[in-house]
Copies of this chain bind each other. A is one copy, B any other.
Amino acid sequence: MKHYTNINDLGNLQKAVQEAMELKKNPLQHKTLGEGKSICLLFFNNSLRTRLSTQKAAQNLGMNVIVMNFGSEGWELEFEDGVVMNQNKSEHIKEAAKVIAQYCDLVAIRAFASLTDKEKDKAEMVINSFKKYAGIPVVNMESATGHPLQALADAITMGEFKTAHKPKVVLSWAPHPKALPHAVANSFVEMMQLQKADFVITHPEGYELNPEITKNSTIEYDQKKAFENADFVYVKNWSSFKDYGKIMNTDSSWMITSEKMKLTNNAKFMHCLPVRRNVIVTDEVIDSENSIVIQQANNRTYSAQIVLKKILEHHE
């Protein structure tokens, strides 16, 4: 694997999930694989799970980790070609990406969606500029439109907890006071399309995700109907894609409650976190035995570690 910017970069998702589970049994089994190699973690946005788990994963492989918060420790970058750079932006991505590539063997990047310019967000300017100019492997730590490390952790978690051969998996929208990106939901959908599962997306009308991503996935506007017989309920808020970045609805009737969970086949509750309690989900549900959000967060380490391992092996 050269880069990891989309779940499809894995080639074989099921195999990667199996390998991650093996890795998890003994996380230090490849502790010299990354010796003498450095990964640079670049944050254009804040992070908790991604920051810690990716650093942990790299250290488990023996790599040196360099963390940089681009906003507070660096300066604004220019991404457009041909611009007269006499305003606020001090450096062009062409130089920044090429330069960073001089000091590390891999670069991992977090750069959220603007939620104001759909075309720019779809163009994935930051991630793609690094891929274009850096010349070293690029790992997506959540970009404008995807969060494939999260999706792989989700696949590992479902692999650990599934009992049915072909489980029913529901991706449910839930309300949130702020406009949130589509990245997690997009990557979850793309990952589910690679799985043997009965997959349903449920959300209020007007909250359709990018149809180029959802493709033929089933959409059910009746949340309760969607929950029937579900084995996994994966919850996430996102803002409107059509009316780009707007909040159309904060209807608390879409919150995940015990009553709704009773409609399921004793479903596991999943969320990528951070989660707003009693807005997205009631305390009762997230504190229940069926909630596997912490196990899901734990798998972020093995998701990152298997990705870094595959990249290191490819470049050996």
Tallying the copies of this chain within the complex gives 3
Complex-state Cα separation, A103 to B56, whole angstroms: 6
Q: Does A138 contact B (CB under 8 A)?
A: no
The minimal Cβ–Cβ distance linking A272 to chain B, given in whole angstroms, is 11
Contact B277–A83 (Cβ < 8 Å): yes
Residue of B52, B81, B297 touching A104 (CB-CB under 8 A) = B52
Give the contacts of A268-316 with B (CB-CB under 8 A).
273-279, 283, 286-287, 293-294, 297-298, 300-301
Contact A78–B277 (Cβ < 8 Å): yes
Q: Does A126 contact B (CB under 8 A)?
A: no
List the one stretch of A40-48, A164-172, A189-197 in contact with chain B: A40-48
Q: Does A96 contact B (CB under 8 A)?
A: yes
| CB-defined contacts of A90 to chain B, threshold 8 Å | 274, 276
How would you classify the secondary structure of chain A's contact residues: helix, strand, loop or mixed?
A: mixed
Which residue of chain B has its CB nearest to the CB of A71?
B72
| CB-defined contacts of A82 to chain B, threshold 8 Å | 278, 283
The minimal Cβ–Cβ distance linking A131 to chain B, given in whole angstroms, is 17
| CB-defined contacts of A66 to chain B, threshold 8 Å | 52, 55-56
| CB-defined contacts of A294 to chain B, threshold 8 Å | 95, 98-99, 102
| CB-defined contacts of A274 to chain B, threshold 8 Å | 75, 90-91, 95-96
Q: Does A239 contact B (CB under 8 A)?
A: no
Contact B86–A273 (Cβ < 8 Å): no
Given known pairs A85-B277, A103-B52, A279-B86, the reply for A64 and B75 (CB within 8 Å) is no
The minimal Cβ–Cβ distance linking A74 to chain B, given in whole angstroms, is 5
Contact A298–B102 (Cβ < 8 Å): yes
Contact B276–A73 (Cβ < 8 Å): no
Residue of B59, B275, B301 touching A91 (CB-CB under 8 A) = B275
Which residue of chain B has its CB nearest to the CB of A73?
B46
Given known pairs A38-B56, A86-B276, A279-B84, the reply for A48 and B102 (CB within 8 Å) is no
Complex-state Cα separation, A102 to B49, whole angstroms: 9
Which residue of chain B has its CB nearest to the CB of A103?
B52
Which residue of chain B has its CB nearest to the CB of A250?
B86
Extra 19 A-B pairs, beta carbons < 8 Å, given A86-B177, A102-B297: A28-B36, A38-B56, A40-B52, A43-B73, A46-B72, A49-B103, A52-B103, A52-B104, A56-B66, A69-B72, A75-B274, A81-B283, A90-B276, A91-B274, A91-B275, A91-B276, A98-B297, A99-B273, A103-B301
A-B pairs with beta carbons under 8 Å apart, 11 shown? A46-B73, A47-B74, A48-B99, A51-B73, A53-B103, A55-B103, A56-B104, A69-B72, A84-B277, A90-B274, A95-B294
